[in-house]
Amino acid sequence: MSFDLKNKRVVVTGGAGFMGRFVCDKVAQRGAAEVIVPRRAEFDLTTEFAVERLYATAKPDVVIHLAAEVGGIGANRDNPGRYFYANMAMALHLIEHARRIGLPKFVQVGTICAYPKHTPVPFKESDLWEGYPEETNAPYGVAKKAAMVMLDAYQRQYGLSGAYLLPVNLYGPWDNFDLHTSHVIPALIRKCVEARDSGQDHIECWGTGSASREFLYVEDAAEGVVRATEVLDEPIPVNLGTNMEITIKDLVELIVKLTNFQGEIRWDSSKPDGQPRRCLDVSRAQERLDWKAQVGFEDGLKRTIAWYEEHRDAVVSGGGRA
């Protein structure tokens, strides 16, 4: 069934965030009557009262739930309890109150961290329950996966129409460039640019560089989310990715080249590598959403580096975000 966003009232949680701003733009381009972005200062979505008040005031036709609390390996390791609670509480209250008001459509964005630590590559959606997630990501990943179970249960019992997406690691303009809480690409870009400009002779990187990752340009991910909103009405998991895998070692060397940093790369093997490999099977997204990533990886990195260079002062003064 097709869900036409034209003239709809759309709530986008996390709409002021990294992917959220692109999702909001694309929803507006589809002709939505209003795009509502709840801000934490007014709506703490981890509390039921705030969620109930959001639904009462926004009167949405669809909710796209992007909001999350998560960081890189270091932040995930430091905040396992908070990340489980915050992500579980938001989904729990938002989905339950969607049921209560008879919301026509609920879209939940999950995380690739929900996959088992040793998932066969490429990750297929059918592998989600074949083991426990990588330990540093598990509290966040399990909370997001529980939201998928809740959506499925609510569709079967109450008829709530939903969609569930699993985007791979995102990167691009407006990312978080804080060195402690950011993901690998923005952290490396900032490290390399600052080391280049200050004349440092080396940068330090966590782990051994042997782990591999797949990355998706943020605007491609946003288009996948909006397509799912339009064409999916059952919360089966759908991967959003590129099916291109790169080792962290090769990634670092590529960013070093693109930022023109001339120094040495030093690896701190006492720090964790995280999940050994990540690479997605994206055939379901192509079949069900008619969606495929459009931005090549090196081109996407060049765009992201150029954006960071242009907004660097604002990023540094803003604690990692422009």
Catalytic residues: 140
Q: Which amino acid is at 26?
A: K
Phi, psi of 319 (to 5 degrees): 75, 25
Q: Quick one: 39 exposed, middle or buried, by C-beta within 10 A (0-12, 13-18, 19+)?
A: exposed
Between the CA of residue 158 and those of 1, 59, 162, 188, what are the distances in Å? 18, 19, 11, 46
Q: In whole angstroms, give the CA distance from residue 146 to residue 164.
A: 11
Q: What are the strands, taking DSSP E only, across 46-104?
A: 62-65
Q: In whole angstroms, give the CA distance from residue 267 to residue 200.
A: 16
Closest C-alpha to 138, from 155, 120, 115, 154: 115
Closest C-alpha to 65, from 34, 83, 31, 88: 88
For 210-229, the DSSP string reads --EE-EEEHHHHHHHHHHHH
Q: Distance between alpha carbon 312 and the CA centroid of its chain, in Å?
A: 22
Between the CA of residue 17 and those of 11, 128, 175, 256, 277, what are the distances in Å? 14, 27, 8, 27, 27
Token pair 């919360």: residue? 235
Phi, psi of 65 (to 5 degrees): -95, 100
CB 164 within 8 A of CB 110: yes
For 299-321, the DSSP string reads HHHHHHHHHHHHHHHHHHHTTS-
